[in-house]
């Protein structure tokens, strides 16, 4: 089946619309600056946010475009809380995901990742992660996102349990460490064995969600049959891919989507010392990563259209969504 008329062009002509908590896919956007956070109108947020994009949840991290992101500064989190005082905050431990989008407010997550690289952590690194959980709990966050694996590529349930216990009663989501685990369905069983984990962010263990449709279908069927966790699909979701992706996966009871909507933009420094670099490398060395709220808005508009069409098909077939 191919979607007709669900494109970024049609979404753009209609203009951005606000996504409501019911009747659409939940959209989660990861950001790494106050400027990006202020671009989104979300449920019950004040008018200080520019009405440019659609987001139910924001994930806050640092260095989003380099190595998948790291723990944000306390200063950034406090600044976002000050500018967006009605937005509940989710703390992100490691990579990606979120809170309950069916409540009356939007949610915010904060990555707590001690470093880039793999997800096998030392005793010292686990200690740092636990301290980060405590610190963000003290300023009133609503949840954490985390992920830990062992050397064999299985979920490290011992360390996961310790981190979840540290976080409770906050919500906990397992991020895309899941996508580099040895076996997706086995990892779901291992995550389910730890009380308190409510979500998993995944691309279906592929580079992008569009590359991993069969595995994502299996993951969604498994989670639905066994009572959870909630699956959030992320990686490679944008205005060009969202329509075909949702046609392929929407019938499998996917409710939540994750994207960055970001890109490198030219920095404003006129003086640039040649042959010097500070980590971004190559053509991006003097650029800055920023969220494109129009891109997020297009995804939001297309997802609303697709939600309505998928629900109509399911109702025609007598299938309970």
Q: Which residue has the higher pLDDT, 31 or 88?
A: 31
- For residues 98 and 165, which has the higher predicted lDDT (pLDDT)? 165
Each domain of the chain, given as residue ranges in start order, spans: 8-268+284-316
Name the 3-class secondary structure at 157: helix
Tokens of 103: 């409540």
Query: Cα–Cα distance between 146 and 110 in angstroms, integer?
Result: 10
Which of 221-225, 283-287, 298-302 is predicted with the least confidence, judged by mean pLDDT?
A: 283-287
8-268+284-316 CATH pick, 3.30.70.3190, 3.40.50.2300, 3.20.20.380, 3.40.50.150:
3.20.20.380
Rounded distance, CA 265 to CA 129, Å?
31
Q: Which residue has the higher pLDDT, 269 or 154?
A: 154
pLDDT band of residue 70 (cuts 50, 70, 90) is confident
For the chain, helix, strand, coil in percent to 5 are: 35, 20, 45
Rounded to the nearest 5°, which phi and psi values hold at 36?
-70, -40
Q: What is the pLDDT of residue 111?
A: 78
């Amino acid at each position: 089946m191919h979607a007709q008329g669900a494109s970024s062009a049609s979404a753009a002509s209609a203009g951005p619309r606000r996504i409501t908590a019911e009747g659409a896919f939940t959209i989660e956007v990861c950001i790494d600056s106050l400027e990006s956070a202020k671009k989104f109108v979300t449920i019950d947020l004040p008018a200080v946010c520019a009405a440019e994009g659609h987001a139910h949840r924001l994930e806050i991290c640092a260095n989003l475009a380099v190595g998948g992101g790291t723990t944000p500064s306390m200063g950034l989190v406090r600044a976002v809380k000050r500018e967006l005082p009605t937005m509940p905050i989710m703390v992100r431990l490691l990579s990606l995901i979120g809170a309950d989008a069916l409540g009356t407010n939007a949610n915010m997550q904060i990555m707590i990742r001690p470093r880039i690289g793999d997800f096998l952590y030392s005793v010292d690194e686990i200690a740092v992660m636990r301290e980060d959980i405590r610190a963000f709990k003290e300023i009133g966050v609503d949840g954490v996102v985390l992920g830990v694996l062992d050397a064999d590529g299985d979920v490290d349930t011992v360390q996961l349990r310790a981190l979840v216990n540290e976080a409770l009663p906050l919500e906990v989501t397992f991020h895309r460490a899941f996508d580099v685990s040895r076996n997706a369905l086995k990892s779901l069983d291992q995550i389910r064995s730890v009380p308190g984990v409510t979500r998993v962010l995944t691309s279906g263990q592929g580079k992008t969600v569009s590359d991993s449709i069969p595995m994502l279908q299996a993951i969604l069927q498994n989670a639905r049959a066994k009572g959870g966790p909630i699956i959030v699909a992320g990686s490679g979701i944008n205005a060009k891919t969202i329509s075909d992706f949702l046609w392929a996966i929407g019938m499998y009871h996917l409710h939540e989507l994750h994207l960055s909507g970001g890109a490198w933009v030219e920095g404003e420094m006129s003086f640039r010392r040649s042959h010097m670099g500070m980590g971004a490398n190559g053509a991006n060395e003097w650029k800055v990563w920023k969220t494109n709220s129009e891109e997020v808005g297009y995804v939001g508009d297309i997802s609303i259209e697709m939600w309505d069409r998928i629900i109509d098909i399911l109702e025609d077939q007598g299938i309970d969504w």
